[in-house]
Structure 1
Amino acid sequence: MKQFNEKLAKWINATPSNDAGINNIQVPGQVEHLVWQNRYKEPSAYELDFVQQLIQAFSNGVTELNDLVLSLNQQGFRNDAGELWTVENFSTEMQRLGYE
């Protein structure tokens, strides 16, 4: 099973083609359905760890952003730069990881 959408990786920062739909026409019954339609790459170890830390926080009943940031810091999980979490850098990281 593919872990990311290979076509999406090619489309990021791509210039528009003059040949609309070239190599992208879907034939009914022959469409390859991907589990991860919107990923352009496999998640990094940091991203997978981040998910686990978020799951842990939510499992402990955290529902507010300030409490989530506090929980991540208490769990000892740092951002990709190795810094403590703040509301600001958490929001920035969510935008970055959401591929805007």
Structure 2
Amino acid sequence: MEQIKDFNPWLPDTQQVIPTKEGGNGQIHVPGQYQNVIWQNRSRVPDSFEVALIAALEEIFDRGTEELEQIVTQLNDKRLFDRSGDAWTEKTFCHFLKVNGF
């Protein structure tokens, strides 16, 4: 068996709003010849922006924050802006989550 990668190279690109109709059984694993690893559903390693955003969101949720307005405000207060360097709005944050599937 080949060495396990920390992403699944056979997954279709999901950086889009409408999910692809590709993929399926036989693409993700061969029955009986795989290890079920937690990252098997990602097509690439998260970049530094995504890792920082995930860490910030975990911290925000750990504080008990659940309302979208508060989440966006706290991200902006941390100066963790969107990829363009602009402050998040509720609309841009929701769009980012929809496109990136978080």
1:2–1:34 contact (8 Å) kept in structure 2: no
Give ranges in structure 1 of 5+ residues lacking alignment.
none
Alpha-carbon separation, structure 2, partners of 1:76 and 1:12: 29
Amino acid at match of 1:95: K
Matched, 1:6 2:9: yes
Paired positions, count: 92
Partner of 1:44: 47
Which of the two has greater helix per residue? 1
With CA pairs under 8 Å and 6+ residues apart, which has the higher RCO, 1 or 2? 2
1:46–1:80 contact (8 Å) kept in structure 2: yes
Cα deviations by residue, 1:31-71 (Å, 9 ceiling, x for unpaired): 34333122111100000000011011112221100110011
Identity percentage of aligned residues: 27
Amino acid at match of 1:54: L
Amino acid at match of 1:26: V
Amino acid at match of 2:88: W
1:35 and 1:22, CA in 2 relative to 1: closer, same or farther beyond 3 A? closer
Structure-2-length-normalised TM-score: 0.73
Alpha-carbon separation, structure 1, partners of 2:58 and 2:73: 14
> 1:97, CA displacement in angstroms?
1.5
Larger radius of gyration: 1
